[in-house]
Amino acid sequence: MDLVLVLDKSGSMYGLTSQVKAFASELVSQFELRSTLTRVAVVEFSSSARTLIGLSGSASEVGSAISGLSSAGGWTSISSGLETGSRLIAAGGRPCSGENCVVFLLTDGQQSSQYGGSNAAVVSANAVKAQDITVFAVGFGTAQKGTLDAMASSPASQYSYLGTSLADIRAHFQAFCQLVSSPQPPPLP
């Protein structure tokens, strides 16, 4: 499986960087990382996106990248984070089918209007999903459930989550590995 963590570091995330690092580390620790098994990439975004590490099967390299998450600042361009995550998966060279390729988006808000607002973020998420990449859209703070649901893969009840806080999200995803690796029933027609 290829997993890309797409982490919000916009100005509204000020004071939460250490919690985001802990959450990302907890998610990654649920998987056995190896180049032939699970690879993880980490992207941070605010006004633009930055790759902290491309797909890697090294737990220590991914851990170092997570530790390097920048301080919060800037506007919110969810689209740039999603598009960067998608490019990393495409560059990884593995075919995507089922849940072999996953983008996990964490945000505390909505895309800033100068980047097209929520509609543009949904369009970007739809382009990612069209590549057979599973999108988890996870938010708290001022994130809107309708937007998260629209960005997430279907069914939204499984791939979208609006938490009350980052602590709530951490608790909800304690079994993330089981969620992405267990076979799911096909969606209803």
* 135 beta partners: 103
pTM of the model: 0.92
For 75-133, where are the E strands, in sequence order? 101-107
Buried b / exposed e along 17-38 (16+ C-beta atoms within 10 A): beebbebbeebbebbebeeeeb
At 159, list the tokens.
């791939």
Higher pLDDT, 188 or 76: 76
Residue with tokens 């100005």: 11
Give the CA distances from residue 176 to residues 51, 74, 78, 127, in Å, rounded to whole numbers and listed in that order.
Answer: 22, 29, 22, 24
Q: Which residue did the predictor score with more confidence, 180 or 9?
A: 9
| 189: confidence class by pLDDT, cuts 50, 70, 90 | low
Region 65-74: what's the mean pLDDT? Answer: 94
- pLDDT score recorded for residue 129: 96
pLDDT at 58: 96
Q: Please tell me the distance from the alpha carbon of residue 52 to that of residue 110, in angstroms, as a whole number.
A: 22
pLDDT at 185: 47
Least confident of 33-37, 118-122, 183-187: 183-187
**Residue percentage of the chain with pLDDT more than 70:** 93
- Residue 182 exposed, middle or buried by CB count within 10 Å (0-12, 13-18, 19+): exposed
Per-residue pLDDT tens for 75-134?
999 999 999 999 999 998 887 876 689 999 999 999 899 999 999 999 999 999 999 999
State residue 183's pLDDT score.
Answer: 44
Asked whether the predicted pLDDT for residue 175 surpasses 90, the reply is no
The CA distance from 102 to 85, in Å, is: 9
Q: What token pair was written down for 122?
A: 């949904």
